Amino acid sequence: MPLIQSVQMTSSTRDFVTIARSQEGIEGYVIAFDDGQRFKLKTAFYALRHKALSGLAHEKNILAWVAEGAVDDVVPLLAADLAEELKAYQSV
Residue 37's pLDDT is: 95
Q: pLDDT by residue (tens digit) across 19-62?
A: 888 988 888 988 888 899 999 999 988 888 888 888 888 999 89
In the chain, where are the structural domains located? 47-90
Q: CA 28, CA 79: separation in Å to the nearest integer?
A: 19
Q: CA 29, CA 40: separation in Å to the nearest integer?
A: 6
Whether 18 has a pLDDT exceeding 80, the answer reads: yes
* Exposure of 43 in the CB half-sphere (CA atoms within 13 A): 13
pTM: 0.59
